[in-house]
Amino acid sequence: MENKEVKLSVKNLVISFRTANGKVQAVRNINFDLYKGETLAIVGESGSGKSVTTRAIMGILAANAIKEGGEIVYDGQDLMKIGEDGFHKIRGDKIAMIFQDPLSSLNPIMRIGKQMTEAMLINGKLSQKEARKDFNSTLKLLNVNMDAAIAGGDKQIAEQNARKCRDFDKFEYKHLELEGAYDRAKNNASECLYETDNLLFEIEKNAVTDLPSEVKEILKLAEGSVHKYVINSRAGELMAAIEKIKQYVKLSLPEAALDFACRIVGKKSRKVMEMKGSDIRDQLTAIREIIAEALEYPMPNFFAMGYYLTFSEEPLPDLSVEELNVFLRKYLDDNFMLDFIASTKSALIKSHEEGLANKQTAVDYINEVMHIFEGDMLKRSEVYKTSRKLIQLITKAIDRLEIHKDNYAYTFASSIKAAISLYYNGIRRNRIEEKRFAKQTAAYERKVAKGKTPDWKVAGKNLVDLDNAKADICAIISKVKENFVNEIAKGDAHDFDAKAVEMIDYLKAKASDVAYKVTRRMAKARALKLMEEVGIPEPKRRYKQYPFEFSGGMRQRIVIAIALSANPDILICDEPTTALDVTIQSQILELINKVKKERQLSVIFITHDLGVVANMADRVAVMYAGKIVEIGTAEDVFYTPAHPYTWALLSSMPDLDTKEKLEAIPGTPPNMIYPPKGDAFAERNKYAMEIDFEEQPPMFKISDTHYAATWLLHPDAPKIEIPKIITDRIERMKNKMGGV
């Protein structure tokens, strides 16, 4: 799976819950990566830990949850360790989640529209500050690297670089100011068109409900549409029409007059009045026509215009928008952009090369000291000293101008510290635990020796597996090393021209986050657009309704729209269709697929029913009793399943044709207060061997993409064929889905 950008990594995640009966071990060491643009399905029976895993990602675990360990890495940050504040920005904004029961995420007594806009207004404010910080620090870093790349200590060149960066900052904000004003006018225009069409339709049907306020709204929107590049040559015409309507309806007059005008249009009773009514209609039609035409106008290149207006002494030339754009683009390129891109490119190359050299140093050091972490007993002082140096070298080797962050390097410091302290605390705690066990056992045996039957039992040893803890430390180091070695091997085989443009786009996006003040009106326009995107008919009418006025499927669409409103990177769907009818179910799946493609989202899709994800998952992780027991591409898991539990899921899934279930999985999942010792599925598995009851199987690698934790994959295990009933099923599935 090389070349795939990892969006999210879950590493060694362990979560339990405190309960009156004991500790529920809900998630027992889970690992997976989520790639950009993929759908990863997490499948398993109820209670296997699917929701707990995703709730941990969202930072919304129940109060009795204990985060025993592990990391959830997103954008170079460990979500397990950042505080509430940081989490707010990521949750909902970058990672959004929808649940099985859409009602649970909607406020029953708030109109749908308000629920959608509220979220946008709040999110908008939070991301502004952060974006400004990012913009400033990235631009500064770029400047530093430009100096290193091209100034070579020359003061004059350094001054030029600083000026370039300052200029970029300056006109970028001018650009946003211009574009913001334009967007507002354009939004008004499109709303005006919508409202006018509505009113004309009502007039036609003789069903006007509230003419004065409807007209008032339209006039306000029409006036708000006047902008040099939205309504230009016909602005006079538009204003004239607005004035005429104002005269007729006398909007500033008392209610009685408005009411009067309303009646004119409603009942075409008296002749004179009728004329006025038709006049209003004519003027509305005129407004409609001007606005509709305006919405087709091309948009000026405000980025380039921002530059021109900031730095050119001349006024804007009098040209058509198309010609103007060509002129402005050329002006920007000649005076600034080509040079800025070139400097950016040099800066990126510099930063990359420096990063490579530092990566090589780090890799060399890792090779030199790795044995320290691989011995039988790890020497404490040596381990701490070496890890400090590792942290220093690895942190230094990060190319901070690389937009696609290497999560492993970014979180190396916190990962390794946690793993080391787990190991040493384990040694200490195991000693105490052994003592306790020995003491209690002795006491117990004394009683038995005296012929008594004690009314208590000695609790089993609760030991930290030190071998595992050591293996974790090594894995953390190896993973960083592997990524570094890959980067070094690639060398400078990157398209730095593309990267330079990407960097500038990144800065532009950050700047636009800063400047993007979400007004109520904009939020509404966006909410309506989103409602359309998720397939809600008549969004205008629906906007004003309450959740109970929606069907289950429509509610789920609304929840998806709300989730999308912050433009997330990752969408987590926790059994989003389980509560819905089968036909609605497939519509929602289709919708999720559609938005995933259009928005390049990464999706985690949770379900207890393998059948649901057969057509939509790129990869599948099968969970059982708090662990991932098999993970692979959809083809791996559906066509060459390896774990007996996956076989059982496959055979219990409703048949593609008949919809009947072949055979239910016998038995029930284990009690997670006392999880079984070996393979948790052993008790229900007719292929279980002795070792399955004794020892947990490791993850065996089947192929580069396919892993499963079952002793059946051990080289010494007896060869067990997949049951025929399942191979038949797979055969039919292959035929149905057109094969691999």
Ligand X SMILES: Nc1ncnc2c1ncn2[C@@H]1O[C@H](COP(=O)(O)OP(=O)(O)O)[C@@H](O)[C@H]1O
Contact footprint for ligand X (CB under 6 A): 17, 19, 24, 26, 44, 46-52, 62, 64, 672
Q: How far is the CB of 289 from ligand X (least distance, A)?
A: 56
**Window 49 to 68, contacts with Mg ion (CB under 5 A):** 51
Report the amino acid identity of residue 276: K
Q: Which is nearer to ligand X, 44 or 300 (CB)?
A: 44
**What value, to the nearest 5°, has the Cα angle with vertex 61 and ends 56 and 63?**
150
User: Which amino acid makes up residue 723?
Assistant: P
Nearer to ligand X, 354 or 630 (CB): 630
Residue 64 binds: one of ligand X, Mg ion, none (C-beta under 5 to 8 A by kind): ligand X
Helix (H) or strand (E) run with residue 25 in it = strand 22-35
Q: Binds 52, which of ligand X, Mg ion, none (CB < 5 to 8 A, cut-off by type)? A: ligand X
95-98 and 570-574 strand pairing? parallel
User: Residue 617 touches which of Mg ion, ligand X, none (CB < 5 to 8 A by kind)?
Assistant: none
> 697 touches which of Mg ion, ligand X, none (CB within 5 to 8 A by kind)?
none
Q: Identify what 522 binds: Mg ion, ligand X, none; CB under 5 to 8 Å per kind.
A: none
CB 53 to ligand X: min, Å: 7
What's the min distance (Å) between Cβ of 78 and ligand X? 21
| 46 versus 136: smaller Cβ distance to ligand X | 46
Query: What are the CA-CA distances from residue 260 to residues 166, 205, 232, 484 (Å)?
Result: 60, 19, 34, 78
d(CA 388, CA 417): 9
Site string for Mg ion, 33-52 (x = CB under 5 A): ------------------x-
Q: Rounded to the nearest whole angstrom, what is the least distance from the CB of residue 100 to Mg ion in the complex?
A: 7
In 3D space, the residue among 58, 102, 109, 110 whose CA is nearest the CA of residue 558 turns out to be 102
Q: Is the Cβ of residue 62 or residue 442 nearer to ligand X in the bound state?
A: 62
| Distance between CA atoms of residues 601 and 558, nearest Å | 18
**Backbone CA torsion sign across 602, 78, 697, 670:** negative
Which option in Mg ion, ligand X, none does residue 369 bind, with CB closer than 5 to 8 A by kind? Answer: none
Indicate which of Mg ion, ligand X, none lies near residue 672 (CB less than 5 to 8 Å, by partner kind).
ligand X
Distance CA 102, CA 498 (A): 42
The residue (of 415 and 607) whose beta carbon lies closer to ligand X is 607
User: From the list Mg ion, ligand X, none, which binds 700 (C-beta under 5 to 8 Å, kind-based)?
Assistant: none
The least CB distance from residue 669 to Mg ion, in Å, is 13
Pick 51 or 407: Cβ nearer Mg ion: 51
Q: Is the distance from CB of 363 to CB of 409 less than 8 angstroms?
A: no
Among Mg ion, ligand X, none, residue 463 binds (CB under 5-8 Å by kind): none
Cβ-in-10-Å burial (0-12, 13-18, 19+) of 659 comes to: exposed
* 607 binding Mg ion? (CB under 5 A): no
Name the minimum Å distance from CB 43 to Mg ion.
11
CA nearest 675: which of 12, 28, 15, 49?
Answer: 28
Please report how close the Cβ of residue 252 comes to ligand X at its closest, in angstroms.
60
3 state SS for 68-126:
EEEEEEECCEECCCCCHHHHHHHECCCEEEECCCHHHHCCCCCCHHHHHHHHHHHHHHH
Q: What are phi and psi of 253, to 5 degrees?
A: -75, 165
Q: Identify which of residues 51 and 344 has a Cβ nearer to Mg ion in the complex.
A: 51
What residues contact 42, with CB distance under 8 A and at least 6 apart?
A: 50, 53, 54, 604, 605, 606, 607, 620, 621, 623
Residue nearer to ligand X on the CB measure, 61 or 501:
61
In terms of CB distance, is 19 or 206 closer to Mg ion?
Answer: 19
Q: Which residue has the tokens 């570094």?
A: 484
Q: How far is residue 291's CA from residue 296's CA, in Å, rounded to a whole number?
A: 9
CA angle 357, 407, 69 (to 5 degrees): 130
Q: Which does 47 bind (CB under 5 to 8 A by kind): ligand X, Mg ion, none?
A: ligand X
- Least distance CB 669 / ligand X (angstroms): 8
Residue with Cβ nearer ligand X (99 or 711): 99
In degrees to the nearest 10, what's the CA dihedral of 208, 210, 213, 217? -30
d(CA 192, CA 173): 28
Specify the residue, 51 or 710, whose C-beta has the smaller distance to Mg ion.
51
Question: Residue 625 Cβ, how far from ligand X at the closest point, in Å?
Answer: 9
Name the minimum Å distance from CB 74 to ligand X: 20
Residue 269: name its binding partner from ligand X, Mg ion, none (Cβ under 5 to 8 Å by kind): none
Helix (H, G, I), strand (E, B) or coil at 320: coil
17 binds, among Mg ion, ligand X, none (CB under 5 to 8 A by kind): ligand X
644 binds, among ligand X, Mg ion, none (CB under 5 to 8 A by kind): none
What would the two tokens of residue 587 be?
């519509």
The nearest distance, CB 31 to ligand X, in angstroms, is: 17
Three-state DSSP class for residue 49 = coil
Return the residue nearest Mg ion (CB atom).
51
User: Which of ligand X, Mg ion, none does 24 bind, CB closer than 5 to 8 A by kind?
Assistant: ligand X
CA distances for 710 relative to 378, 685, 698, angstroms: 30, 11, 7
Distance CA 399, CA 401 (A): 5
Cα–Cα distance, 617 to 630 (Å, whole number): 15
Q: How many positions of this chain bind Mg ion (CB under 5 A)?
A: 1
Residue corresponding to tokens 């519509």: 587
Q: Which does 470 bind (CB under 5 to 8 A by kind): Mg ion, ligand X, none?
A: none
Token duo for residue 623? 């969970």
Q: How many residues does the chain have?
A: 740
Q: CB nearer to ligand X: give 300 or 669.
A: 669
- Beta carbon nearer to ligand X, 47 or 426: 47
**Min dist. Cβ of residue 574 to ligand X (A):** 7
Q: Rounded to 10 degrees, what is the CA torsion of 636, 639, 645, 651?
A: 150
- Indicate which of ligand X, Mg ion, none lies near residue 49 (CB less than 5 to 8 Å, by partner kind): ligand X
101 vs 119: CA distance, rounded Å = 19
Contact 556, 576 (CB under 8 A): yes
Minimum distance, C-beta of residue 60 to ligand X, in the bound complex (Å): 11
* Minimum CB distance to ligand X smaller for 50 or for 174: 50
Phi, psi torsion values for 658, nearest 5 degrees:
-90, -15
51 or 387, CB closer to Mg ion? 51
Q: How far is the CB of 190 from Mg ion (least distance, A)?
A: 41
Place of tokens 């697929």: 593
CB neighbour list of residue 494: distance below 8 Å, 6 or more residues apart: 352
**Closest Cα partner for 542 from 201, 115, 221?**
115
- Closest contact distance (angstroms) between CB of 574 and Mg ion is 6
Name the residue nearer to Mg ion (CB basis): 362 or 606. 606
Query: In angstroms, what is the minimal distance from the CB of 672 to ligand X?
Result: 5
In the complex, the residues that contact Mg ion under the rule CB under 5 A are 51
